[in-house]
């Protein structure tokens, strides 16, 4: 059903372009960018509520942010500067950078404190001297997570 809707919108936008109307294309670009931003803003709400960044793959965030950065650079080097493209890719890039900053602000101090506590509790055991290190899991906290 969704594929049919998408196909119908493609034909409708192509027909509008043939008629010389550009606002349907702009409307679809703005709608998709708004929905993408809303999807990222959901993470900000979760960060605000739980005061931690949880259930987010920073590898995915990094890849997505790099995609936005390279898309932004490609828009800048076009013969004609597309302001709408700058706004769309710039907004996404800023939102993903904000997720990184929140992750560093909320998760790094907790991770560092746990690492120091582990070192104090096992001062003679380390990976480099062949001792067995007890794995405490990858979670920084006991909140539920999708990762």
Q: What is the pLDDT of residues 37-82, one digit of tens each?
A: 999 999 999 999 998 888 888 999 999 999 999 999 999 999 999 9
For residue 56, what are the CA distances in angstroms to 37, 50, 59, 96, 107?
16, 13, 9, 11, 12
∠ CA 24-30-36 to the nearest 5 degrees?
135
Burial 20-39 (b: 16+ CB within 10 A, else e): eeeebeeeeeeeebeebeee
What global pTM score does this model have?
0.71
């Amino acid at each position: 059903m969704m594929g049919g809707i998408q196909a119908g919108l493609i034909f409708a936008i192509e027909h509008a372009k043939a008629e010389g109307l550009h606002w349907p294309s702009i409307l679809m670009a703005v709608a998709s960018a708004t929905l993408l931003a809303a999807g990222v803003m959901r993470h900000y709400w979760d960060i605000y509520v739980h005061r931690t960044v949880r259930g987010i793959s920073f590898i995915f965030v990094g890849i997505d942010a790099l995609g936005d950065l390279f898309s932004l650079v490609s828009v800048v080097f076009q013969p004609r500067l597309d302001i709408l493209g700058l706004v769309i890719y710039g907004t996404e890039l800023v939102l993903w950078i904000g997720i990184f900053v929140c992750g560093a602000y909320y998760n790094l101090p907790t991770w560092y404190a746990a690492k120091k506590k582990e070192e104090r509790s096992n001062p003679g055991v380390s990976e480099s001297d062949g001792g067995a290190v007890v794995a405490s899991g990858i979670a920084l906290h006991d909140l539920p997570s999708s990762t």
